[in-house]
């Protein structure tokens, strides 16, 4: 009797195609690239869990990136709480044969290979492994829109900004984000606000699309006004709508849009990102008000005098944007270098900064008189001093999306209520509800 049951079970096992059997599904994610290692690793892991729900995640790490591995441990613990095995393997000196062995010993029937957060050599190895068996080893890559979102990572950015490319398999049109990632929210209130809103937007939408239209709306009295949309950004209309909630103050409406990064910042007619590339960018206070935090600057330095000027502005109680400007500055300061300078206004303090600290850097200001004076002083022999100005309105999808999320947090901090971020299908994030504990409000 026992033998018959065994034979019957064996026959049933081979009666159906392999694809219909329950099998071990894995994901192989390297953590050993040289830049944005944590951001790309975190995004790759969360997106892979969300899209493919593997039973096992194999982390390939290099010893020099162990610091990032440690930062990821709370994420690993959260995945394990969902029943996912997380295996770590050191590939500091691994060959292709070594890597193949690392994967094969985990007994995976299918292993998704994700090179996004890996060094070039590991990415090549994964591509070669995929070529050996395309069905068993689908190749997955995540393509992220940088620019205004450089310092954010999934799921704290809208899903539509991080495209997925899959070779050898298909992605489900329905995804579910069910991880508790609260321990990864930023301590800086402004950045935290954007993270909260983006994560909530991702929880409300589950369809992979090239571009999802987002709209910022404000309820003014009984009327709900559209402020800005990614489909057809109209900044003049946005300014008009904002002026109404600011008591008819068009200048404040314009300042809010500038702070949200609605404009390019130009230096000698070129985008500031291009002019600053490869050297330290030292900013005057006016660049904070122009939304420099939404631009992709890799090496930003803030003179201490900027701190004094921002705090002075915050103390002007009649300025409704003052608190928002401070929180924007706080988030910018968290990812920038602080240069020692005299505790006075920047017009005086910046040209007195130690020459060794500014040598070879780019210093930008939008104050023409300061620009002209600084170019006549000794500092101009050590640093490149340039005049910056606001350029055209930003209309690229990722840029407008950044303006929408930035503006939502700015308005909340400025005590403007009734703000929503809505996506297709009338799925709206209630900004008041989601950010109710973000900052103390009187």
DSSP characters over 155-171? TSS-GGGEEEEEESS--
Nearest Cα to Cα of residue 433 among 419, 423, 414: 419
Contacts of 357 (CB under 8 A, 6+ apart): 339, 340
User: Of 3.30.56.10, 3.40.50.620, 3.40.50.300, 3.40.1160.10, which CATH number belongs to 17-144?
Assistant: 3.40.50.620
**Residue 23 is encoded by which pair of tokens?**
């099998």
Residues in the chain, pLDDT under 50:
1-22, 441-442
Residue 5: its pLDDT value, please? Answer: 38
17-144 shares its CATH topology with 263-393: yes
Contacts of 86 (CB under 8 A, 6+ apart): 56, 57, 59, 76, 79, 80
Residue 209: its pLDDT value, please? Answer: 65
**Separation CA 346–CA 288 (nearest Å):** 13
**Separation CA 113–CA 99 (nearest Å):** 11
Superfamily of domain 263-393: 5'-nuclease (3.40.50.1010)
Residue 431: its pLDDT value, please? Answer: 96
**Residue 20 is encoded by which pair of tokens?**
């219909």
Residue 190: its pLDDT value, please? Answer: 96
366 Rama sector, left if φ>0, alpha if ψ -120 to 50, beta otherwise: alpha
**Separation CA 235–CA 248 (nearest Å):** 16
Q: Each residue of 4-30: b (16+ CB within 10 Å) or e? A: eeeeeeeeeeeeeeeeeeeeeebbbbb
Predicted TM-score of the model (pTM): 0.89
Phi, psi at 26, each rounded to 5°:
-120, 170
Residue 210: its pLDDT value, please? Answer: 67
Task: For the chain, give every domain's residue range.
Answer: 17-144, 263-393
Residue 207: its pLDDT value, please? Answer: 61
Burial class (CB in 10 A: 0-12, 13-18, 19+), 367: middle
Residue 213: its pLDDT value, please? Answer: 92
269 Rama sector, left if φ>0, alpha if ψ -120 to 50, beta otherwise: left
Nearest Cα to Cα of residue 28 among 110, 144, 92: 110
């Amino acid at each position: 009797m026992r033998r018959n049951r065994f034979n019957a079970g064996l026959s049933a096992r081979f009666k159906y195609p392999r694809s219909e059997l329950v099998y071990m599904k894995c994901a192989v994610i390297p953590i050993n690239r040289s830049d944005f290692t944590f951001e790309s690793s975190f995004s790759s892991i969360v997106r892979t869990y969300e899209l493919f729900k593997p039973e096992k995640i194999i982390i390939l790490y290099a010893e020099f990136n162990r610091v990032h591995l440690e930062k990821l441990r709370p994420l690993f613990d959260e995945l394990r709480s969902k029943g996912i095995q997380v295996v770590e393997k050191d590939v500091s000196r691994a060959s292709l044969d070594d890597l193949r062995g690392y994967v094969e010993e985990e007994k995976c029937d299918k292993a998704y290979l994700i090179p996004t957060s890996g060094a070039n050599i590991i990415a090549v190895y994964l591509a070669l492994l995929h070529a050996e068996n395309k069905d068993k080893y689908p190749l997955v890559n995540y393509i992220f829109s940088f620019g205004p979102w450089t310092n954010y990572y999934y799921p704290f950015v809208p899903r539509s900004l991080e495209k997925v490319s899959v070779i050898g398999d298909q992605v489900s049109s329905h995804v579910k984000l069910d991880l508790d990632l609260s321990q990864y929210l930023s301590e800086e209130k402004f950045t935290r606000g954007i993270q909260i809103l983006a994560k909530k937007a991702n929880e409300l939408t589950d369809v992979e699309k090239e571009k999802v239209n987002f709209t910022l709306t404000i309820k003014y009295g009984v009327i709900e006004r559209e402020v800005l949309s990614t489909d057809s950004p109209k900044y003049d209309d946005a300014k008009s709508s904002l002026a109404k909630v600011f008591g008819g103050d068009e200048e404040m409406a314009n300042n809010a849009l500038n702070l949200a990064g609605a404009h390019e910042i130009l230096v000698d007619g070129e985008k500031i990102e291009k002019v600053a590339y490869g050297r330290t960018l030292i900013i005057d206070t006016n660049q904070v008000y122009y939304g420099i935090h939404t631009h992709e600057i890799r090496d930003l330095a803030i003179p201490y005098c900027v701190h004094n000027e921002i705090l002075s502005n915050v103390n002007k109680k009649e300025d409704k944007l003052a608190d928002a400007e401070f929180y924007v500055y706080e988030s910018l300061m968290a990812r920038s270098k602080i240069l020692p300078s005299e505790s006075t206004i920047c017009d005086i303090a910046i040209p007195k900064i130690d020459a060794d600290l500014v040598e070879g850097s780019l210093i930008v200001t939008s104050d023409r008189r300061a620009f002209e004076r600084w170019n006549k002083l000794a500092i101009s022999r050590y640093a490149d001093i340039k005049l910056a100005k606001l350029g055209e309105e930003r209309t690229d999808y990722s840029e407008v999306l950044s303006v929408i999320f930035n503006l939502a947090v700015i308005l909340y901090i400025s005590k403007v209520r009734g703000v929503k971020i809505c996506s297709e299908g009338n799925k709206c994030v209630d900004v008041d509800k989601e950010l109710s504990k973000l900052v103390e409000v009187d």
